[in-house]
Amino acid sequence: MRAATRRQTGAGAERAPDCYACVDDGKLVLVADGTPAPALAQRVHDAFRALVLDPQFPCVGARSALNQGSYRFGMYRELDATTSTDALAHDLRAFIDEQPRIEGEFTTFIACFDTPKVLDAPEFERLLWAQLHALHARDDAPWDAAVARDPEDAAFSFSFGGRAFFIVGLAPSGERWARTFPWPVLVFNAHEQFEALRRNGQFRRMQDVIRQRDEQLEGDINPNLAEFGEHTEARQYSGREVAGDWRCPVRFDD
């Protein structure tokens, strides 16, 4: 697996190194060889843990994954940049391969980006979809047959490596507290995990808890939330409140 790499840009300024990491004995280490992750990745990782493990953070699934260490963490230079996309595609495939062996009730892949640091909500949404489209262009696997590939379809879910994912975006410009973070973030949650919760009767209970906590924190429930199959989940990915006539800016036909 690829080790961390560094690149100098500008007047000797160092940009964030790529890395694919896990937590071992409380420390963020590279999955490839168990060595400590680069300093910036550790800083961003610790800040993300602090956000999600805050007692008021609404998503109990995310809290469970971070508490149990059942996640992988990637750090990349720039959202929707060619080299970062290549690294992200490589690591997402590694996560898909590794996921069945990761212990925990809920597993997830967290991809953080060093730049851009200043983003308004529409620009983050544009970059999020451009990034997903670029990942799709590097994917040779068929679209997960359990979900639709048309973002306008109520059964849509993003697919990579033959695996459907629900994407949660966080950005400096997040409109809700739980979607606000100093670095752009894309969280990849396997769609099958939600289906498993539905099959064993746990999904509705978890959903109710998340919505109650969200309402307590924000004063209202996220207006973009909807049941899978009711409205396209694409409306929820960026975290931006969108109008009823919103349309996804990319297609996954090719």
The pLDDT tens digits for 79-135 are: 999 999 999 999 999 999 999 999 888 899 999 999 998 889 999 999 999 999 999
- Res. 158: pLDDT tops 90: yes
The pLDDT of 215-242, averaged and rounded, is 74
Strand partners, 105: none
3-state secondary structure of 16: coil
* pLDDT value of residue 210: 72
The total number of structural domains in the chain stands at 1
Residue 73 within any structural domain of the chain? yes
Residues, the chain: 254
pLDDT at 66 over 90: yes
Say what the pLDDT of residue 230 is.
62
Q: Indicate whether 157 belongs to any domain.
A: yes
Whether 7 is in a domain gets the answer no
Q: Please report the pLDDT score of residue 224 as a whole number.
A: 54
Highest mean pLDDT among 61-65, 143-147, 178-182: 143-147
- Higher pLDDT pick, 231 / 238: 238
- Higher pLDDT, residue 116 or 72: 72
What CA–CA distance (Å, rounded) separates 81 from 96?
22
pLDDT of 4 over the 70 cut: no
Answer whether 189's CB lies under 8 Å from 169's CB: no
Tokens 């451009």 correspond to 130
Asked whether residue 249 is domain-assigned, the answer is: no
Q: At CB < 8 A and 24+ separation, what contacts does 148-155 make?
A: 149/252, 149/253, 150/251, 150/252, 151/232, 151/234, 151/247, 151/248, 151/250, 151/251, 151/252, 152/232, 152/234, 152/247, 152/248, 153/232, 154/228, 154/229, 154/230, 154/231, 154/232, 155/228, 155/229
Whether residue 228 lies inside any domain: the answer is yes
94 part of a folded domain = yes
The model's pTM: 0.88
On whether residue 30 sits in a domain, the answer given is yes
Asked if pLDDT for residue 6 goes beyond 80, the answer is no
Over residues 66-73, the mean pLDDT reads: 95
pLDDT tens-digit readout, 28-41? 999 999 999 999 99
Q: Which domain holds residue 226?
A: 14-236
pLDDT of residue 11: 34
The pLDDT assigned to 48 comes to 97
pLDDT digits (tens, 9 = 90+) for 161-220: 999 999 999 999 887 888 899 999 999 999 888 777 677 776 667 777 777 777 777 777
Could you tell me if residue 78 is inside a domain? yes
